[in-house]
Structure 1
């Protein structure tokens, strides 16, 4: 298996499991059709990084870890996500998610698993472009909480991607980041 996912911190998983078991989970944005799909199980935890200020002096900053996202599997497949974030008190449940990025993430992970070289899967958000990518870190043994981008890493823009960015196409970091920077610099203010 070319994808080498690291386990999420135990406290992050516990917070998600507690939220899923909460009677108020549906009120807090749990996937609306959860009762239709049966009991939801968190799987495939991915560290979530944010890359902001990429047009700043000195080039793009290092991504910062903001949470761990779990895909939620029901009896009919992946139906949503649950995210835990790090606070001053430790890992805590943040929110549930639905929408096009759920299906896009699951699909990109399946395709990435078929690549010939091993990678560590992560998520990289570029909020300035309203963009989410599957980040395939080239060192599968790296600490999942080390946010260093390597020029050999692959970024897979998830659909929906911003105009002019091809979704689902793996690109090396040193190819995609200049394109993102250009899009931000060229964008009207």
Structure 2
């Protein structure tokens, strides 16, 4: 069962305002959004967290809240997404986009609904690996601004996933995070003891 966090009201208002603006929709690089017939609605708000490159030695990398993402529904499916970001004036609309992560997010949310237990859905971005996962946080009432993902949480990599990591498979954080940490580690310097 999913227990999503409510999006900040200003974030939702900014997306609704952008959807209501013919200029914002027309100028978006989202053909599906521009061609949509009928009403469009923002759904499934998800906090977007960024995974840091490295934590302190011996500790998991930290995450930080970077924004909120809304899937934009047109008809019976999500056709685009809208991102918001935190500015000095509060949450505001950033941009619309489309692509494989829109359908992959919708698919992962459906998969997560069938899992036993209660989870708070989040998105976790790993920019250095061009990777996005649905992060299923096992303590739905807990909301932290910067924290290491707990070992008991689940992560569902979205397609396309990096080589060697199966998309749309639920991994325990304790199993996936060490793989990500290895891939994020800087290569050893030539001539160092580690490269000898």
TM normalised by structure 2 equals 0.88
Write the deviation string for residues 81-117 of structure 1: whole angstroms up to 9, x where unpaired.
1111101110010111200000000000001000011
Aligned to 1:141: 141
| Structure-1 separation of matches of 2:87 and 2:145 | 15
Matched residues, number: 188
Aligned to 2:166: 166
C-alpha change, 1:94 and 1:188, in structure 2 (3 Å) is farther
| Structure-1 separation of matches of 2:151 and 2:79 | 33
1:93 to 2:93 alignment:
yes
Gaps of 5+ in 1: none
Aligned to 1:59: 59
| Structure-2 separation of matches of 1:188 and 1:17 | 48
Query: Could you say which structure has the larger radius of gyration?
Result: 2
Aligned to 2:11: 12
C-alpha change, 1:47 and 1:41, in structure 2 (3 Å) is same
| Higher mean C-alpha deviation, range 35-44 or range 152-161 | 35-44
Describe how 1:1-189 pairs up with structure 2 within 5 A. 2-29=1-28, 31-34=30-33, 35-54=35-54, 57-143=57-143, 145=145, 147-185=147-185
C-alpha change, 1:37 and 1:57, in structure 2 (3 Å) is farther
**Aligned residues: CA RMSD:** 2.1
Is the 8 Å Cα contact of residues 60 and 148 (structure 2) preserved in structure 1?
A: no
TM normalised by structure 1 equals 0.91
